Amino acid sequence: MKVIVNACRLLLAVTFILSGFLKADDPLGTVYKMQDYLASFGINNIPGLALVVVAIALSFLEFTIGINLLFGISRRPTARMTAVFMMIMTAFTVYIFIFDPVKDCGCFGDAIILTNGQTLLKNIILLTAALIITKWHFLQIEFVSDNIKWLISTIGMLYLPGFAIYCIINLPMFDFRPYKIGTDLRAVYEATNSAPSVNVKIIYEKNGKTIELEADDDDPDSTWHYVETRREIKNEKQLQTSAFFVQDAEETDITEDIVFDEGYSFLLIIPNLKKSDEGCIDLVNEIYEYSIDNNYAFYCITGSEDEKSQIYWNEHTGAEYPFYTSDERELKTIVRASPGLVLLHDGKIVGKWSNHNLPDEYILTDRLENIPIGKIAENSTNKKMGYTLMMFIIPLLILTIIDRSLIGWKFYREMKRKSKDISLGEIDKRLMLDKIEKKISDISDNIATDKFTGKSANKKENKENLTNN
């Protein structure tokens, strides 16, 4: 039973850590998913900031539960909390499975897409595992000592909110959407707007062995038996994930003009003009002027098609650039910010920035061809994973050293105190021995004196008796 309990515990730990981490990696994506759920209930007036707080809190809760499960921290309370959490989520997924308000639960962000049926099955399995570890919580193996548990819990509680805030400011560290840096929009556009490319495979079998041949290959000899023909769409994923299009004020599709524009192009992405951050508008205007001075294309693409919203933005920001429109949902997918900035070079995404870290005059010191932001940063997934782990491990090591130092100092003080007590005890013992020795000496002297005095008296008495006789 111990093996089963710990297998369930590790399954839950990995799932909760992954789910919490991916939500923290893309907090705004979690907000958009919550807005979809709320809209299905007719609720559309909850402030975005409140939803951001809820999204971070949810990722924090899942990650903390996962960390506690992984290291065996507070086994009984953690097991109970896991069971309660899974009961709530399972009941909710039963609802979305029956009524289908959204197509994807958003449990793992854009990294792992699950249907509502798959989500329900997942939660039933996890709920079963949670009930098992709740009943036999005492069988969970503790991987760390009691002295280090508080350190791991503290780091986990500090790490996730910090990581989530970092990803809000600097955009998701791990981008699983079809518009990540390095994506060639020209290839995506051509795949989306052309007939699907089909890869044909012809399967033959002989004596339990199978071979796959291309349509242009020669047929095998007559000893091979035809089994089936398989057709696979090569660009099916792109066709399913990309819906990028842009229109001008006359509703003319200019997507191709943007994607196939030679050189550099700035895309200012504003999903909703009335709900966008106006605090960065000075930097936006500077970037627009920079693009004009250096003859770079600049497109402001928004999901707000009504003229009132565009007039509102112009009046509040002094914008001089024209507006182009696209689907608001797709714009939120392109960049997790409002406004957000995307830089293209020959149709390829070179860089993306949120409204919190737009490039300023100290970065745009020359033409894009001559400065670092004009090139795709070499920041591989492995490096990002390394940075992410270091953000967790380094504080853990620092706090471990502090904890060990405090314990060592406490031990030193205790030993010093005991040593002092021992020294004082030895002194007291020596004084007592000296007193005892002195007492013994005095008693001996008294005894000797008494004996001498007794002998003298006897001699005197004897002498007096002789005289009298």
Q: Residue 288 belongs to a domain with what CATH number?
A: 3.40.30.10
Split at pLDDT 50, 70, 90, the class of 228 is low
Q: Is residue 117 part of a domain?
A: yes
Let me know whether 406 and 366 are in one domain: no
Q: Tokens at residue 310, please? A: 């565009």
Let me know whether 340 and 291 are in one domain: yes
373 neighbors 343 (Cβ within 8 angstroms): yes
Let me know whether 319 and 414 are in one domain: no
- In the chain, the number of structural domains is 4
Q: Is residue 298 part of a domain?
A: yes
457 pLDDT above the threshold of 80: no
Let me know whether 21 and 131 are in one domain: yes
The last residue of one of the domains, among 379, 394, 429, is 379
Let me know whether 400 and 363 are in one domain: no
Split at pLDDT 50, 70, 90, the class of 377 is confident
Q: What is the pLDDT of residues 354-370, one digit of tens each?
A: 999 999 999 999 999 99
Cα–Cα distance measured from residue 65 to residue 24, given in angstroms and rounded to the nearest whole number: 14
Let me know whether 345 and 461 are in one domain: no
Q: Tokens at residue 62, please? A: 């899942």
Q: Is residue 192 part of a domain?
A: no
CB neighbours of 76 closer than 8 A, spacing ≥ 6? Answer: 137, 138
Q: Is residue 13 part of a domain?
A: yes
pTM: 0.74
The last residue of one of the domains, among 379, 414, 439, is 379
CB neighbours of 110 closer than 8 A, spacing ≥ 6? Answer: 26, 29, 176, 177
Q: Is residue 179 part of a domain?
A: no
CB neighbours of 220 closer than 8 A, spacing ≥ 6? Answer: 204, 206, 211, 213
Let me know whether 457 and 334 are in one domain: no
Q: Is residue 267 part of a domain?
A: yes
Q: Is residue 242 part of a domain?
A: no
Let me know whether 350 and 420 are in one domain: no
Q: What is the pLDDT of residues 389-443, one digit of tens each?
A: 777 778 777 766 776 677 677 777 777 776 665 555 565 666 676 677 666 776 7
Per-residue model confidence (pLDDT) at position 423: 57
Per-residue model confidence (pLDDT) at position 241: 41
Split at pLDDT 50, 70, 90, the class of 8 is very high
Could you tell me which of 379, 368, 371, 361 has the C-alpha nearest to residue 265?
368
Domain interval for residue 443:
384-469
Split at pLDDT 50, 70, 90, the class of 129 is very high
Interval 161-169 mean pLDDT: 92
65-69, 79-83, 402-406, 453-457: segment of lowest average pLDDT: 453-457
Q: Is residue 467 part of a domain?
A: yes
Let me know whether 13 and 162 are in one domain: yes
Let me know whether 24 and 91 are in one domain: yes
**First-to-last C-alpha distance (Å) of the chain:** 113
Kindly report the average pLDDT of the chain as a whole number. Answer: 83
Let me know whether 213 and 275 are in one domain: no
Let me know whether 18 and 78 are in one domain: yes
Q: What is the pLDDT of residues 299-352, one digit of tens each?
A: 999 998 888 888 999 988 988 899 999 988 899 999 999 999 999 999 999 999
Written as one string, the DSSP assignment of 327-376 is -HHHHHHH-SSSSEEEEEETTEEEEEE-TTS---TTT-SS-GGGSGGGS-
